[in-house]
Amino acid sequence: MGWAISASSEGIFSNRLAIDCQIPISCLVRRKIQLICLLSAWLLATGSQWDMVQVFAWGRMFAGYAREMPLTAALGQTFKPDNMCPICRAVKAAKQQQDESPAASYKDELGKILLVFEPVPQIVVAHPSFSSWSPSDQILTGALRAAPPVPPPRDPAA
């Protein structure tokens, strides 16, 4: 798939991007913005923002501990539950608050959605008992033509 920007006769770039066919750049940008918004909404709806903040906090803690001690000890100190930084405590409190919210209790009341898979009935098509063409109707069109009058010319170089 080739990416190319077409230029007009004056040498000024046009507002179209060529990807096998001409698609306006505004459509591509709009599509990317839609995908980014959809991904952001999905991440926020599932509570993944707290996981990203937690990873950031662990990175800061590990970097701070790695300056003072060996890497294995810094890694151990980072993930000790009694050694939480203020960001880790805030994330833990936010996750607990999210789990105790009314929306979470409403989700538990609904339970799981049960999917029922029923087998698809077989479709049987019967072969017709009659023939739409009789053997006398089947005439070979090449049988009525005569053979060519002369053989095809041969290549003199062969």
Q: Between the ranges 5-9, 114-118, 133-137, where is the mean pLDDT highest?
A: 114-118
Tens-place pLDDT, residues 47-73 = 888 899 999 999 999 999 999 999 999
Percent of the chain with pLDDT over 90: 28
Q: Is the pLDDT of residue 32 over 80?
A: yes
Nearest CA to 23 out of 41, 37, 5 is that of 5
Between 93 and 138, the higher pLDDT residue:
93
The pLDDT, as a whole number, for residue 24 is: 78
Domain ranges in the chain are 1-46, 47-108
Let me know: does 17 contact 29? Beta carbons within 8 Å: no
